[in-house]
Amino acid sequence: MNIDYFLNLPASAQIVIGSLTAVVITNILGVFLCYQKLEAMEAHLNKCRLVSFHGSYFGNSPRGRMMRLCAVYAAIALPRLNARRGVVDRQQVQAFPRDIKILLHGTALLGVAGMAGLIITYFD
């Protein structure tokens, strides 16, 4: 089996394969971020009530780590809204490391693209 076999598949099959690949990569990146970078991200946002609450509430289980990662991403992705609500420190969010911020945004974008591809092919 070579690359020509996959390139000659119908477009819907190629979209499904690409979407599933994107979702799998998103999950792998999420697990990596949860177990390798989460403590460092939370240390950068130690004054944010959103992050500190989720850290104390959900604990260290795999589900809890994923929820804590989602809280960090919510603080990074929506800084103005969360600052208006008073749950993040805007200076800490702005001082968050750019490379980790780009990795978080890229992971979320890849996951959304993968899910959108699967939804489009399901309703096609």
User: What per-residue confidence (pLDDT) applies to 12?
Assistant: 85
Q: Residue 27's pLDDT is what?
A: 94
Contacts of 22 (CB under 8 A, 6+ apart): 110, 111, 113, 114, 117
Could you tell me the pLDDT band of residue 5, with boundaries at 50, 70 and 90?
A: confident
The pLDDT of 7-34, averaged and rounded, is: 92
In whole angstroms, give the CA distance from residue 96 to residue 46.
Answer: 11
User: pLDDT per residue over 21-52, tens digit each?
Assistant: 999 999 999 999 999 999 999 999 998 998 98
pLDDT(1) > 80? no
Q: What is the pLDDT of residues 67-118, one digit of tens each?
A: 999 999 999 999 999 899 999 988 999 999 999 999 999 999 999 999 999 9
Residue with tokens 């750019």: 98
Q: What is the C-alpha to C-alpha distance for residues 48 and 16, in angstroms, rounded to an integer?
A: 39
Per-residue confidence (pLDDT) for residue 104, from 0 to 100: 94
Q: What is the pLDDT of residue 59?
A: 85
> What pLDDT sits at residue 25?
96
Mean pLDDT for the chain overall? 91
